[in-house]
Amino acid sequence: MADGVFVPPPPRLVEGAHCSSMQQYNDMYKQSIDDPEAFWGAIADQFYWKERHTGKFCDYNFDASKGKVFIEWMRGAKTNICYNALDRHVQGGHADRVAFFWEGNEPADEDRLTYGQLLERVQRCASGLRALGVARGHCVAVYLPMIPELVVTLLACARIGAVHSVVFGGFSADALADRVLDAKCDVMVTSDGFWRGNKLVHLKEIADHAAELCAARDHRLRRVVVVRHLPRLHQHQHPANGAGGGDAQPAKRAQFDVQASWDAARDLWWEDMMSEAALECEPEWMDAEDPLFMLYTSGSTGKPKGVLHTTAGYMLYAATTFKYTFDYHLEDVYWCTADIGWITGHSYVAYGPMLNCATSVMFEGSPFYPSGERPWQIIDKYKVSKFYTAPTAIRALMRLGDDIVTKHSRQSLKVLGSVGEPINPEAWLWYHRVVGGGRCAVVDTFWQTETGGHVLTPLPAATPTKPGSACRPFFGVQPALLDENGAEIAGEGEGYLVFRRPWPGIMRTVYGNHQRFETTYFKKFNGFYCTGDGARRDADGYLWVTGRIDDMLNVSGHLLSTAQIESALIEHPSVSEAAVVAVPHSIKGEAVYCFITNKQGEPWTDELRKELILKVRERIGAFAAPDYLQCAPGLPKTRSGKIMRRVLRKIAQDDRDLGDVSTMADESVIALLFQHRTAQLL
């Protein structure tokens, strides 16, 4: 890799930047490490506090061998993140400022919401949720498409001190039920459905199914609030438009479906909740360490973890990373393409931008619908200056050729962000040269659901970047590289990426399972937070994240565990064993490659392959579906019976250089596995 090539920050970004030189970055970074209280305290001064902290500014233990792992910032301080994201701006004279330009799946569907309007709707929604019995500390499940009501619901929960648990709209009923049960949510907010490209998703049907699954496990969803979204869409007036699947009036049908399964004792239309709700709703003053939200992320055991974030630390961190990483100024229009169902949407569609009084684009659709021109059209339409998306999208858009990009102006662009997976230098350079016309900074931001915000990232007007490197730590973050024995690697080298101390936005626990929090993140290397990623430090001290070093896959920026997919596959009655590995994929980054051992006598058929794909879709969601399925008469195992994934990865990639196989119990399976290899994408 081109370690030595620096791309300097674009000179036009330097003037007026929040951080305009490496000197300034180094000084600020030094203060954030030497005196975190002074550094974060000055930032905290810009927010509203009902009361300031009483105890230590930051208290923690990262060493599991010395007792309970814990992290606390500003314990005793009282605030409300919704108040800081809305009331503070409205009182500051920004009521008429646009918070969101909403752009629907169809280009004709658009809306805009000012800070003043948002505050009104959020207060109503908060009062409405309270009237439904939602109180401080309760957990609300949110299963919505990318519509303004999603942001309204999150802020309304935060306003009344309820914890939100957003479940991505692409998750199946099973996955939704698991999450509702784990958090014991008894209220859910969902919608009738939504369109993604040509596909109509009946969200309410899936939610109903999930409610049945919960009921079968003795848990009742007491109230389900339903946003009526489909009838207000352009598709509704033009049912032929993108109807697909031969369904003449899909929007009508969706409405019908919703009514057919309506449970009057439980279900409630959003508009009815809003119209009956009180106009004003006093915020609950929350302790700095009170929970704000949980968000499930894949765990290597297969059971998702409810990553819990608290109030004040998350607020400071989401706001500060947003401000510096994108160098946000009030004249900017910002657009992050992520869905709020993932952490990127929480921190960089909802909280980070709103805490900075930003004007953002919120996009319901897909970057490829109606065509791959859509992102560039949207950028020109709203004069987007800061754009944030995933390498998978960049690679797929790159495939479509430069012309459809360059025929649009894109003159407004200044900063281009990348998130969710390693970005290969080729895609980075295309993003910089073609999308940015060579005039923009590219910021490759490394972080995780657990970190709450960016932990490694360049700053656009300060950091000389290197294509493919996430460069340097953000303020307050101290990375280290460790070898297998926990010894620190100084200077150039490659190892486990860990962090030495907490920054304000780090997760506090796994919901309902603090022990799992300690074991997953702190046990392997006492005294450090372990990311599960590998990284390399080059001669200039730049960090290059190489990817997961545990049993996780990153498919199109979605983190999945091999165990989670395997347990879905094994449920099929014909399967006796399944092993899943990641293989490189030119667009998705990684693809899901499955080895399936059938039960004795069960044939390997197209039918079975279809059923296996369906199983994964049912258990997790379409985004986790296998890309390759191969028959495996046996699996390579150690003598103690552990599957040798390292060997399977080689087979999947048709690499005959298997390395050391001396621990393998039965080498004869190898030849058979190569024989059955499949290069055919499903």
Q: Among 174, 208, 364, 444, indicate the residue that binds ligand WTA (CB under 6 A).
A: 444
The helix-helix angle for 606-619 and 173-183 (nearest 10°) equals: 30
Reduced DSSP (H G I as helix, E B as strand, rest coil) percent helix, strand, coil of the chain, to 5: 35, 25, 40
Site membership for ligand WTA, residue 624 (CB under 6 A): no
Phi/psi zone of residue 557: left (φ > 0), alpha (ψ -120 to 50 degrees), beta? left
Cα 111 to the chain's mean position, in Å? 24
Asked if residue 510 lies in contact with residue 306, where contact means CB atoms within 8 angstroms, the answer is yes
Distance (Å, whole) CA 553 – CA 361: 30
What's the full length of the chain, in residues?
A: 682
Partners of 389 in the β-ladder: 418
Site membership for ligand WTA, residue 548 (CB under 6 A): yes
Helix (H) or strand (E) holding 127: helix 115-131
Site membership for ligand WTA, residue 564 (CB under 6 A): no
- Residues within window 233-292 making contact with ligand WTA, judged by CB under 6 A: none
Distance (Å, whole) CA 290 – CA 433: 45
Site membership for ligand WTA, residue 465 (CB under 6 A): no
Site membership for ligand WTA, residue 321 (CB under 6 A): no
Task: Output the smallest distance, CB 543 to ligand WTA, in A.
Answer: 10
Name the segment binding ligand WTA (CB under 6 A); options: 55-63, 509-517, 540-548, 670-678. Answer: 540-548
Scanning the structure block, which residue is given the tokens 């590289």? Answer: 481
Q: Which residues contact 256 (CB under 8 A, 6 or more apart)?
A: none
Task: Output the smallest distance, CB 297 to ligand WTA, in A.
Answer: 5
Helices (H), 350-499: 352-355, 374-382, 391-399, 403-406, 425-430
Site membership for ligand WTA, residue 479 (CB under 6 A): no
Site membership for ligand WTA, residue 551 (CB under 6 A): no
Instruction: Show the CA angle centred on residue 133, arms to residues 127 and 135, nearest 5°.
Output: 75
Asked if residue 604 lies in contact with residue 598, where contact means CB atoms within 8 angstroms, the answer is yes
Nearer to ligand WTA, 144 or 419 (CB): 419
- Residues within window 292-311 making contact with ligand WTA, judged by CB under 6 A: 297
Name the segment binding ligand WTA (CB under 6 A); options: 140-148, 217-225, 525-533, 636-644. Answer: 525-533
CA dihedral for 450, 72, 303, 217, sign (positive or negative): negative
Task: Output the smallest distance, CB 560 to ligand WTA, in A.
Answer: 10
Name the segment binding ligand WTA (CB under 6 A); options: 86-94, 364-372, 546-554, 626-634. Answer: 546-554
Site membership for ligand WTA, residue 69 (CB under 6 A): no
Site membership for ligand WTA, residue 343 (CB under 6 A): yes
Site membership for ligand WTA, residue 447 (CB under 6 A): yes
Site membership for ligand WTA, residue 566 (CB under 6 A): no
Task: Output the smallest distance, CB 589 to ligand WTA, in A.
Answer: 9
Site membership for ligand WTA, residue 356 (CB under 6 A): no
Q: Among 419, 480, 560, 591, indicate the residue that binds ligand WTA (CB under 6 A).
A: 419
Name the segment binding ligand WTA (CB under 6 A); options: 224-232, 337-345, 362-370, 397-405. Answer: 337-345
Phi/psi zone of residue 631: left (φ > 0), alpha (ψ -120 to 50 degrees), beta? beta
Distance (Å, whole) CA 108 – CA 241: 12
Site membership for ligand WTA, residue 448 (CB under 6 A): yes
Q: At 135, which amino acid appears? A: A
Site membership for ligand WTA, residue 422 (CB under 6 A): yes
Interface ranges with ligand WTA (CB under 6 A): 297, 342-344, 419-422, 444-449, 470, 531-533, 545, 547-548, 554, 559
